[in-house]
Chains A and B, each alone.
Chain A
Amino acid sequence: MEPPRAILEAHHVTKTFPGVVALRDVSFAVLAGEVHAVIGENGAGKSTLMKVLSGVHPDYEGELILDGRPVRFDGPRQAQQSGIGIVHQELNLVRDLTVAENVFLGREPLTRWRTIDRRTMNAATRELFQRLEIAIAPDRRVGDLRVGEQQMVEIAKALSLNARVLILDEPTSALSDRETATLFSLIRRLKEQGVAIVYISHRMEEVFEVSDRITVLRDGEYVGTLPATQATREELIRMMVGRTLKSFFAEDERTTPGEEVVLSVENLCLTGAGEVRRTLIREVSFQVRAGEILGLAGLLGSGRTEVLEAIFGAHGDRVGGQICIDGRPVVIRSPLDAIECGMALVTEDRKATGLIQQVTVRENLSLPSLRRLVWRGMVDRGAERRLADEFIQRLSIRTPSREQIIVHLSGGNQQKVILGKWLAINPRILLLDEPTRGIDVGAKAEIYHLLRELSLRRIAIVMASSELPELIELCHRILVMREGRPAALFAREEATQEKILAAAAPGAKETADVGC
């Protein structure tokens, strides 16, 4: 039998950023009609390699070979025209354009009069979405969509370019299980049509479910490629970290929360901004004890994020209800109020609300605690440097120096910086929104251990996540949200993925009153 033909090959690719070698002499090949998973830890160079393949980084050493011919892309557009499509981990959509306008951005169909042919554009988008089984109206504004829906638009957009090689960088990190299943069936159909798919993910189960071959990168270097049928989970983890990682959680590591209630929320409500004034969440009540980790589960749009934002004062006076800290009612009208009450919020979207991109690791780490680091009105730069170094070491943030501009760090290390900047204010209440989104196995384990350590130090933690195994392993109790209201509350012992999903599904039978 003739071996399948390589459609895209990389030969000895090296890519450096200021102060960092992101890729060192990496070679690998993608065959026509295969799903090729690329895995590796934070900063292993996966995203960088994909950006080289898709023309985002035109300045690299080495060679790319497409269909047996050497190519060098000047930019993403040229790569697209050659049939290489990419969906980046971070969304790249124009928020104020409609879904259809985004899909056809840069190649809008025109009418006879050289105006944009909106009708054709919307019809084509609708057709594309039907084929992909995505239920989003083409004329909706992208900014009004949830993150998961935006991701589906991105994938649809890349597919609409008739890509022969489709690169998916962490495509499922924001998707619900149903959307993920839709995506996988789509990937299989594309594969049958001979499209090669490069699939980057941190979720081991997904990699085994969907891929044919698996390539492992570590610290910017190529480690090896295995057929999915021959690889085992342990072997892959060993290749990724260079050592064997034991299971994240041991029974004796579990913590027991204290008795005293630190945060108590009663009847929390939130109305949407703008003319509609839709109710986003209502009648949310719960209590969190010292050292307790409370999980917030629910589908996209169920109000998990809004609960955290409402408590943190991010929505100002659109919030109703009562928040008590240590039994005393507090008024929180702004994030500043919340911070002064000892709260911290790690937001879901690193790029939009987590980081200041243009500045250094040090400046990002010290931002919320600058009030403390002031000496006679001046920033105490020595204290600031010590703080930065302390947290770089404590959270093992991988950066060439504290003066590195933060965008050059990998996603997992950026996330650690965000955690670090909030831990630096010594919070009593830590609110986390998808703290492990788009993060690899190793960094996840580090963050889990960190949360456990914080729980031991009597910090009250509320954590929203779409990864149920994570919630079940980590949380003492799990509150399930459905359509803006609490639907069920499970203690860890009784929580299972099936029960949580059943409670979270819209239209499910109303669970009797959820007292917490």
Chain B
Amino acid sequence: MSDADATSQTDSPITLRRYLTTMAPRLVREGSLYAAFVILFIVGCLVSEDFLTPDNQKAVLRQISENGIVAVGMTLVIITAGIDLSVGRMLGLASTLAAMLLTGRQWTAATWLALPAAMGVAGFLLALLAKTLLVKNRDDARARPVTIIAFLIGAAAVGAWTIPQVRSGLSIPAVVVVVPLAGLLLGSLSGLIIAKCRLQPFIVTLAMMTSAWGAARLIARSDGGGAYIHQAYEWDVPGLPALRKQVFNLLPVPGIFFLVCLLIGWFILSRLRFGRYIYAIGGNEETGRLSGINVDRVKIAVYAISGMLACLAGVLDCAQYQQGTPEAGAGGELDAIAAVVIGGTSLMGGRGRMIGTLVGVLIFGYLTNILQLCGVHTDVQLFITGAIIVLAVLLQEGFVERWIHRRRDRRAAS
């Protein structure tokens, strides 16, 4: 095909052949990821007859959903060439907050932290929405009053909804809203420092990870005189089982949360301008800035989303184990990073897809499940998981293909 043909081809409508020629390399690379998943699935069916039972599949979905929700946020962060190490401890903080908000009958450290934060964030989000919808022009005189009024309405609405519930313990929907909003605030704080002070995401989120852990322990201790874990067997929280129940006996609720988050994440990345900017910044931040992208704002937003999703996962964790503890989610950031990278997202930024993250999370979950079903000792499980991560990433990077090609070339040469 000469260059002239190539030019004329761009004018013609999409043909199957052209679609395939541009897609083929991508299919081969991503195909190996799906192939690995299918092989793992088949292995699961072979080694244990319990594997394919609906109960086991549901259990897997339940187990992966927390990691999955965190991984969705992590995917966005990693595509901007960043990293968020704070998500694991943020999950623990959220789990503690959720437990205390649900069981508390008074104003505690948890309510003092979570409610004002949630009010502020809700007000801010509403103000942002109002500004984008109502104010077209930068110099519009209405800009200031509109944003202030929207902020007050948002803050007041969340306040009016949640504050009366403090004495009786917050309702489940209130906790599901309030705690992630608080997480959004913490995440955006990381993002703010990373964007405005030009610091490395690694060290800023490392600091946030430590601080969140400290905050969670402080809050937990403030209430129980040193008892960190808020056990829940005596909890009498209406609706809490609903968060771990199954809908129509088919999907566990945390799994639904995961799938919805994943869908939203996919929508952001593939359909929204914001998503395009995420790729652009990860690919070449300077080009993005010179093309008129507000780089700082995009960065703050991805860390905010990551923090919010981590805290949502924390609430689900609390419901799952019927206890809230600062130690929940320890090391969760590494599981999430592993799943994202297995899914083909590049730590260098600019490259990655949500569907890959889904497969990465599934591979991770099924692997653990299969090893458990086989009765492999936990220590051995960890070891095998590590090895599989390396293998999956090698496959993902096209290493195996290249190695095969090179061997064939060498054999042909000699």
Contacts and interface: CB of A to CB of B under 8 A. Distances in A.
Interface string B48-60: 0000000000000
B284 A401 contact: no
A264 interface: no
Contact of A353 (B6, B287, B292): B287
B22 A368 contact: no
Contacts of A359: 279-280, 283, 350
Contact of A356 (B10, B25, B273, B288): B288
A347 to B, nearest CB: 6
Interface residues of B, number: 38
Interface in B275-319: 275-277, 279-280, 283-284, 286-294
A334 B1 CA distance: 44
Interface residues of A, number: 50
A239 to B, nearest CB: 16
A403 interface: yes
A377 B21 contact: no
B377 interface: no
Contacts of A404: 22
Contacts of B22: 18-19, 400-401, 403-404
Among A72, A357, A396, A403, the one with the most B-chain Cβ atoms within 10 Å of its Cβ is: A403
Contacts of B24: 18
B218 to A, nearest CB: 39
B284 A357 contact: yes
Interface string A363-378: 1001110110110011
B272 A358 contact: no
Interface string B74-115: 000000000000000000000000000000000000000000
Interface in B12-33: 18, 21-22, 24-25
Nearest to B23: A403
B380 interface: no
Chain B interface SS verdict (over half): helix
B287 A398 contact: no
A389 B11 contact: yes
Among A21, A336, A393, A400, the one with the most B-chain Cβ atoms within 10 Å of its Cβ is: A400
A503 interface: no
Contact of A312 (B4, B279, B287, B290): B290
B272 A378 contact: yes
Nearest to B28: A18
Given A379-B272, A401-B18, A356 B290 contact: no
B352 to A, nearest CB: 10
Nearest to A379: B273
9 contacts: A336-B292, A356-B280, A356-B288, A357-B350, A366-B276, A374-B273, A389-B11, A400-B6, A400-B22
Interface of A: 18-21, 43, 59, 72, 219, 312, 314, 334-336, 338-340, 345, 347, 352-359, 363, 366-368, 370-371, 373-374, 377-379, 381, 389, 392-393, 396, 398-404, 421
